[in-house]
Amino acid sequence: MGSRKLKLGDIVFCERRSGLLGRNLYQHYGVYAGYHKIIHYVKGDSPLDGRIAETSIEEFCDGDTLYIAEDDSLLSIFQDADVTSTFYGPRKTVERARSMIGKGDYNLFNHNCEHFAIWCKTDLNKSTQLSIEGMAARVFKPSWGPMKWLVDEIWRVEAKY
């Protein structure tokens, strides 16, 4: 598994796991805003409620490992949407994220944490986790053994901070 230091405007995520099943349930996304802060959806009064806030990396991770969604891995979003790829620069990405702080229009299907983070970087409202391919990848991803190591080695960039 590769690793690199966080940079301003990086799209970051943690894998949230089920204690009962030991499997990844979903990925929680945010935007790295510098100074060990991440802008992301925080839980509201119910699991289906939330608002955008700027918190510490530790609060965002909640004990999980922090990963970086590299720009080249985000390119598939543009291919799926059949549009030309455009990434905002680091400052503009963070500016867009900060402009949403306090907003609370969370919706699992069309305005979740992944939608928010990808929108900040690209202006596209997309979530790969809710696609058929994204759901299949989570179900069939190996959870142990050499195949798990290979998948993690190829697709994971751990964040250093």
pLDDT digits over 9-47, tens only? 999 999 887 656 556 678 999 999 999 999 999 988 876
H helix or E strand, kind and range, residue 121: helix 113-122
Whole domain around residue 126: which residue ranges?
Answer: 2-160
pLDDT digits over 96-137, tens only? 999 999 998 898 888 899 999 999 999 988 787 765 444 444
pTM over cut 0.85: no
CA nearest to 32, candidates 90, 76, 77: 90
Based on the structure, what is the number of domains in the chain? Answer: 1
- Paired with 12 in beta bridges are 30, 68
CATH number of the domain at 121, please.
3.90.1720.10
The answer to whether the CB of 9 falls within 8 A of the CB of 31 is yes
Distance CA 87, CA 89 (A): 6
